[in-house]
Amino acid sequence: MQRYLVGIDGGGTSCRAAVADATGRILGHGKSGAANIMTAPDTALVNITKAAKAAFTDAGLSEELVQSADAFLGLAGNNVEDTVAYVIPRLPFAHSIIESDGLVALQGALGDGDGGVAILGTGTIYIARSGNRVSYVGGWGFNIGDLGSGARLGQMAMQESLLVHDGIVPRTLLATSLLEEFDNAPPKMVKFSQRAKPGDYGRFAPRVFDFASTGDVTALRIITQSAGWIDAALDRVSEITGGGRLCLLGGLAALYPPFLSPRHRSRLVAPVADALAGAIALAKSSFIDQREVAE
């Protein structure tokens, strides 16, 4: 009977899935909504299932085969044990391993080599590999971490806009843009904040970079502060790896380099492959290769 492997790359904005055969050859892809198991585990379960089924459909296979597949899931929010314990038995797969979305990104970007990756998207996390040692920096979630993330950029932009409204800081076009989106009514912004998820804030991040490119002082202040946090995290990654290759990944990866320190820009390399390829490689290693060695 044909065995199928599923790789999942799930973050605060979207969930991507790939299905592969036992050799690791990818057969199909699928995509759905957010899959951060810490902030919204039940929503993540729904979207993981949707993305996996879509991948099987894309491969011309029956959705029902999801139930017999072995899955390696790289998920945002995996560093809370109670959450992982809640999610694992509710997944649709025959066997599942949950690790950080950063780990699958590291594997895809660097293959089996040393170096570090920074995932700069709705959230932020940094992963460093030196030999057999994999170390994580950050990734503590929006409530107490994710400095420099898209969610933080959007939240900071809204905070600055309210400072403008109250006459505390000078008005800029970025602040004006955000205030107008909420009809120049701060109570609407407060209402938004009470129900907003990280991805809701993150949708404002590209706008911050757009206005920074025009010299908007508010946007530049936000990005400069955020880039400083990223530089500090990358310094720690460099300590672990002794320098070497560095990949920036995620939705903001192409936007941040001009604002980072030259000491980090000089080490940037293009990723070998994406996180889904990394998830499939780890699925093959975990479910196929190790079993063959054991047998």
In order of their start, the domains of the chain are: 4-111+273-294 (3.30.420.40), 113-269 (3.30.420.40)
Percent of the chain whose pLDDT exceeds 90: 82
Partners of 73 in the β-ladder: 8, 98
| pLDDT score, position 290 | 67
Q: Which two tokens stand for residue 77?
A: 């929010």
Question: Cα(116)–Cα(103) distance, rounded to whole angstroms?
Answer: 10
Q: Which two tokens stand for residue 239?
A: 């300590």
Average pLDDT, rounded, for the chain: 93
Q: What is the mean pLDDT of residues 271-288?
A: 94
Q: Which residue in 59, 76, 63 sits closest to 25, CA to CA?
A: 59
Q: What is the mean pLDDT of residues 169-191?
A: 96
| pLDDT score, position 294 | 53
Task: Note whether 270 and 248 are within 8 A (CB).
Answer: no
Q: Which two tokens stand for residue 241?
A: 């790896």
| pLDDT score, position 2 | 87
Percent of the chain whose pLDDT exceeds 70: 98
Question: Cα(163)–Cα(166) distance, rounded to whole angstroms?
Answer: 5
How many residues belong to the chain?
Answer: 295
Q: What are the φ and ψ backbone dihedral angles of 73, each rounded to 5 degrees?
A: -115, 120
